[in-house]
Amino acid sequence: MLRPSGKIEVMLHTACVRAGAFAIAHGIIDRFPLAKPFLAKPVMQSLAKNSPLRIQKQLIKDIYKQHGLKPANWESSAIIAVAESSAGQLVDFRQLERKLKNSLGDRLAGWLLKAAPLAQWAPDMVAVVARTWAIGRYADSVGRIRKLGSDMLPAPMAKNLKLPANLLWHWTEEAFELALPVLGKIHAAGSRIRRG
């Protein structure tokens, strides 16, 4: 059985990868609105239910639950605002492009890069992964302090809210892999639109 800290690590990993994958899917779908009617209803329902912000808010609730607490709405908003201001990450477009080609293959990656250049959507996706990490880390800190009886939000320590670079790239790659089925369906829908 996992210790509470181990459960929180699993929650952080899962939420970061899911938020990144749905950020990719939402970013690409937003750039191809004509593809929406060609996507299966379950795909559209999943996208509607899984915005990165919803995933992040659920992460806060799940982490607080580990501490035997329930966050107030203002607390969730404050945690998100503080964490977002502390979670800046740099994006290496060449490395992302290589990973994208390795994951999707040259043909699908070439189409995607032509239709939606990395500069348009990759920074947002990487930022979502980094922000989700920071939100989870800060929520854990606040939960620990609240459990001790304090009602004040602690000042974040920026170094603790920054996702280590190796984890950022690894989890970004996992997010790409999780988003692959949706990206393939968008590509197929785009092909049908061009033919029709």
Give me the pLDDT at residue 18, please: 92
Residue 66's pLDDT band (cuts 50, 70, 90): very high
Helices in 87-164 by DSSP H: which ranges?
A: 93-104, 106-115, 118-147, 158-161
Task: Please determine, for residue 191, whether its predicted confidence score (pLDDT) is greater than 80.
Answer: no
Give me the pLDDT at residue 154, please: 62
Q: Which of 6-10, 22-26, 101-105 has the lowest average pLDDT? A: 101-105
Work out how many domains the chain is built from and give that number. Answer: 1
Give me the pLDDT at residue 172, please: 72
- From first CA to last CA, the distance across the chain in angstroms is 54
Per the structure block, which two tokens stand in for 107? 């043909």
Whole-number Å distance between alpha carbons of 70 and 60: 9
**107 and 128 Cβ atoms separated by less than 8 Å:** no
Give me the pLDDT at residue 64, please: 94
Please report the beta strands in the chain, taking only residues with DSSP state E, as ranges in sequence order: none
Give me the pLDDT at residue 75, please: 86
Range of the domain at 87: 4-195
Which is nearest to 171 in space by CA: 121, 130, 118, 112?
130
- The single-letter code of the amino acid at 133 is W
> How many angstroms separate the Cα of 182 from the Cα of each of 15, 16, 157, 178?
18, 18, 37, 9
Task: Please determine, for residue 132, whether its predicted confidence score (pLDDT) is greater than 80.
Answer: yes
Task: Please determine, for residue 84, whether its predicted confidence score (pLDDT) is greater than 70.
Answer: yes
Helices 165-195 + 93-104 axis angle, to 10: 60
> How many angstroms separate the Cα of 6 from the Cα of each of 66, 97, 181, 196?
11, 33, 30, 51
Task: Please determine, for residue 193, whether its predicted confidence score (pLDDT) is greater than 60.
Answer: no
Give me the pLDDT at residue 156, please: 59
> How many angstroms separate the Cα of 23 from the Cα of each of 71, 131, 133, 163?
25, 12, 14, 17
- The share of the chain scoring above pLDDT 90, in percent, equals 20
Per the structure block, which two tokens stand in for 6? 């181990």
Residue 130's pLDDT band (cuts 50, 70, 90): confident
